[in-house]
A and B are shown apart, each in its own frame.
Chain A
Amino acid sequence: MKRTSPFSWMTPVTTGLIGGVVALFLCLVGIVEASLGRYVITGIVTMGQVFVLAVYAIFAMQAAQKAAPGQDEKPAPFRTLASGAISGLMISVVLAIFVLLGQQIDLRAVFIHATPVLYDLLTFGLGVPQGIFVLLGFGILMGVLFGAMALLPSALRRSLGAGLIAVPLVAVIYSSLFSGRGLSAFQALAVFVVVGLALFLWGRYQQPVRARANALPARQQRSMRLGLWVVAILFVLALPALGTYPSEVLVITGIFVLMGLGLNIVVGYAGLLDLGYVAFFAIGAYVMAILTSPEITWFPFSGNFWIALPFAVLAATLAGVILGIPVLNMRGDYLAIVTLGFGEIIRLVALSDWLKPLIGGSNGITQIPKPVVFGFSFDNPQKLYYIVVIGCVIAAFIATRLKYSRLGRNWMAIREDEDVAQAMGIDLVRNKLMAFATGAALSGLAGALFATKLTSIYPHSFNLLVSINVLAVIIVGGLGSIPGVIIGAVALVGLPELLREFAEYRLLVYGAVLVFMMLKRPEGLLPEARRKLELHELSPDVAE
């Protein structure tokens, strides 16, 4: 006889209330309003509404999942759906109370975003009281719908979820390409179906397809892999065709990929938490500027991008070693604090009056030229993109080679246990300095590209946030993982860049994403095999 586990009806209520507070928070900080002009589905759903919908979805599913019985228990569809409905209702209740309150007192004195527009939005344009009832009903409906997802088999649930997430993602890219228009309802449906179906089929037939591919003769396998590579390369090369603005976003994303690959060596491989990584980025940028800008007259030499590039990288590398020496004996938190200080020092020095005659203080350095090759000038983002891609490919190659080299193994041992690594014969000084130097070199390269991209640089571009951004990129992507860096940069730098109207909420979103990732997927989006192994069940495999 299957038993039914005990269940508390308070759970969906509290879950819903928390969701309500989150939704309210999103409204009050202004995210919902900020995106009124940005349609996901033209005329129907805006980006801001998608955020609120996401709150309904996440919390209703959470509540339903908590109510769903375990595998060896009696199914309880009613309880599951009701839990979803209750939590959905509670979210609406919180929002409704807010609207009613807002009708009585003017909340704008405290919350500048509590505008009539927002109330209108929350009451579906129907006003009080009809709108309130619709809002509550809408909450129940959302709760039931998303609660029902908990009843589906996990493969189906995952495909549906991916389809739903894909729609706003595609819409964001689409709208930034086509001047703010959203998808049509039909297009949105198509995206949903295609992505959902693709993921579903992939989950279902992945194994037989893989097995079939592995059974092919080695030569065919090789040409298949080659074919995939060619497609991937062509895709990457074709991206600038999207236009100038997307190319600019790609260039920025690429610069963060470069920095991410570098910091990944320091933090991911060697386990040295460096929060002053922006310093090397700044040094690379400033050296590039000093060596190329005609504005700088005190320096006896003025060259082009290609001559300056190696010096920028070299200067950053040296700085990496110089910072590395004093912190050799520091660990963990202490290292983080000291490097953080170093990053700020570099920025403040660049800003200082003392160096103003040389590097312009807060006025920065302007007129940094673009790279030129045989008379061909990389003078727009579409062209510059290719230089950044080449940089990223080189960096990825270096990072991969290092990872599986003896040096990479040393770093891993140091990351695991410094004392023991040393007692095994690993020279801590040399290996740590190598990590700092390699990381700094890639950051310097990124900085040089950054300078030439912007043609002018200012000290305030090199604040602590850059270091934090890069760290977030590699953590979200998966510490130590090279593909992870790319995914992380796309997700945390590229996408927000496309959503320009959310610029001021970027940190908020970062925080939320990081907390969510640490709770739900601590290994990152694309973790390296080793970490995955560590966080999931291990199947013993003795054959060699």
Chain B
Amino acid sequence: MALLEATDIHTYYGAIHALKGITVTVDKGEIVTLIGANGAGKTTTLNTICGIYHPRQGTIVLDGEPIHDMPAHTIVTRGLSQSPEGRRVFGRLSVAENLEMGAFTRKDKAGIKRDLERVYELFPRLLERRKQLAGTLSGGEQQMLAMGRALMASPRLLLLDEPSMGLAPMLVDLIFDTIKEINAQGVTVLLVEQNALVALSIANRAYVLETGSIVLSGTGQELLNNPEVMKSYLGID
């Protein structure tokens, strides 16, 4: 059953028509990935889903409840959280405070504590550095923090915007292993990635976005073998 159904989404920046009727569904327990060139509209799609932007047309339904008119701060409470592009951590707050902010809307103290432990287990580096100001973390550590913070909302659906951006290959592997692990723990994942090869290989299904429209979709394996995708996104001729 679909956890998220975004149907015929149109999003505008003023006069710029950034999303031209996008339809994306994510089923419970899946990892779905969205790939596409720079400026294709991937970040816009995620920000529209989580309510930072609102679609001018189309519907977004999370587990049966329409969310396209809700403000972002209400959508979090419905079990959807995002790790934004470019590691936007709260630079002047400590690592621990950042994680606390992630659990902002939650009241269940015991659950928060459990999730905090889970995040520190997934990212032991964050535990070591929990008193450090987030702005002084390395890029990779900030990425871990952004993901950890999103997890602290205890989401049913986790949106990840380019978690491997600018990371060394070793760290990229670690991040993707962690995504699989998070997924195995029962969190559904919608993943935006430039690193198409790795993304497609861990995804159940995938969409290819081009200038605001979906041009291809299928299982991760199908797209990996698609000649178009091979040529344009995997750099294989």
B90 close to A423 (CB less than 8 A): no
B104 close to A424 (CB less than 8 A): yes
B153 adjacent to chain A (CB < 8 Å): yes
A542 adjacent to chain B (CB < 8 Å): yes
Contacts of B72 in A (CB 8 A): 419, 422-423
Q: Write the nearest CB–CB distance from A175 to chain B, whole angstroms.
A: 43
What mask results when residues 72 to 88 of chain B are scored 1 for a CB within 8 Å of chain A, else 0? 11101100011010001
A507 adjacent to chain B (CB < 8 Å): no
A540 close to B105 (CB less than 8 A): no
B73 close to A422 (CB less than 8 A): yes
A424 close to B132 (CB less than 8 A): no
A425 adjacent to chain B (CB < 8 Å): yes
Task: Give Cα A426 to B104, complex, Å.
Answer: 8
Task: Give Cα A428 to B74, complex, Å.
Answer: 11
A417 adjacent to chain B (CB < 8 Å): yes
Option from B71, B92, B101, B136 in Cβ contact (under 8 Å) with A424: B101
Contacts of A417 in B (CB 8 A): 88, 90
B163 adjacent to chain A (CB < 8 Å): no
A416 close to B82 (CB less than 8 A): no
* Most chain B CB neighbours (cut-off 10 Å) among A422, A531, A540, A542: A422
- Evaluate whether A534 and B135 lie within 8 angstroms (CB atoms) in the complex, with A416-B91, A419-B88, A425-B105 already known: yes
B73 close to A419 (CB less than 8 A): no
B17 adjacent to chain A (CB < 8 Å): no
A530 close to B84 (CB less than 8 A): no
Q: Write the nearest CB–CB distance from A537 to chain B, whole angstroms.
A: 10
Option from B92, B105, B149 in Cβ contact (under 8 Å) with A530: B92
Contacts of B149 in A (CB 8 A): 424
A533 adjacent to chain B (CB < 8 Å): yes
What mask results when residues 512 to 537 of chain A are scored 1 for a CB within 8 Å of chain B, else 0? 00000000000000000011011000
B22 adjacent to chain A (CB < 8 Å): no
A542 close to B76 (CB less than 8 A): no
A538 adjacent to chain B (CB < 8 Å): yes
Option from A412, A428, A538 in Cβ contact (under 8 Å) with B93: A412
Q: Write the nearest CB–CB distance from B207 to chain A, whole angstroms.
A: 22
A72 adjacent to chain B (CB < 8 Å): no
Option from A423, A538, A541 in Cβ contact (under 8 Å) with B133: A538
B93 close to A541 (CB less than 8 A): no
Q: Which residues of chain B from 36 to 76 have any CB-CB distance to chain A below 8 Å in the complex? A: 47, 50-52, 71-74, 76
What mask results when residues 87 to 131 of chain B are scored 1 for a CB within 8 Å of chain A, else 0? 010111100010001101100000000000000000000001111
Q: Which residues of chain A from 394 to 424 have any CB-CB distance to chain B below 8 Å in the complex? A: 409, 412-413, 416-417, 419-424
- Evaluate whether A425 and B104 lie within 8 angstroms (CB atoms) in the complex, with A416-B93, A419-B52, A541-B131 already known: yes
Looking at chain A, what size class is its interface with the partner chain?
20 to 34
Q: Which residues of chain A from 420 to 439 have any CB-CB distance to chain B below 8 Å in the complex? A: 420-428
A425 close to B77 (CB less than 8 A): yes
B88 close to A420 (CB less than 8 A): yes
- Evaluate whether A538 and B91 lie within 8 angstroms (CB atoms) in the complex, with A423-B52, A423-B72 already known: no
The count of residues in chain B whose C-beta lies closer than 8 Å to any C-beta of chain A is: 33
Contacts of A531 in B (CB 8 A): 92
Where chain A touches its partner, the secondary structure class is helix
A534 close to B92 (CB less than 8 A): yes
Option from A421, A428, A540 in Cβ contact (under 8 Å) with B129: A540
Contacts of B104 in A (CB 8 A): 424-426
Contacts of B92 in A (CB 8 A): 412, 416, 530-531, 534
Contacts of B47 in A (CB 8 A): 419
B131 close to A426 (CB less than 8 A): no
Contacts of B128 in A (CB 8 A): 542
A420 close to B93 (CB less than 8 A): no
B133 close to A542 (CB less than 8 A): no
Contacts of B73 in A (CB 8 A): 422-428
What mask results when residues 170 to 191 of chain B are scored 1 for a CB within 8 Å of chain A, else 0? 0000000000000000000000
CB closest residue in chain B, given A543: B131
B153 close to A413 (CB less than 8 A): no
Q: Write the nearest CB–CB distance from A171 to chain B, whole angstroms.
A: 40
Contacts of A530 in B (CB 8 A): 92
Contacts of A419 in B (CB 8 A): 47, 52, 72, 84, 88
**Interface of B toward A, CB cutoff 8 Å:** 47, 50-52, 71-74, 76-77, 81-82, 84, 88, 90-93, 97, 101-102, 104-105, 128-133, 135-136, 149, 153
28 contacting pairs across A/B (C-beta < 8 A)? A412-B90, A412-B92, A413-B90, A413-B93, A413-B101, A416-B90, A416-B92, A419-B47, A419-B52, A419-B84, A419-B88, A421-B101, A422-B71, A423-B50, A423-B51, A423-B72, A423-B73, A423-B82, A424-B102, A424-B105, A425-B76, A426-B104, A428-B73, A530-B92, A534-B92, A538-B133, A540-B129, A540-B132
9 closest residue pairs by CB, A with B: A425-B105, A425-B76, A416-B90, A422-B72, A425-B104, A425-B73, A424-B104, A427-B73, A420-B88
**Interface of A toward B, CB cutoff 8 Å:** 409, 412-413, 416-417, 419-428, 530-531, 533-534, 538, 540-542, 544
Task: Beyond the given A423-B73, A533-B133, A538-B132, please list 8 additional residue pairs across the A-B interface where CB-CB is below 8 A.
Answer: A417-B90, A419-B88, A421-B101, A422-B51, A423-B51, A424-B76, A534-B135, A542-B130
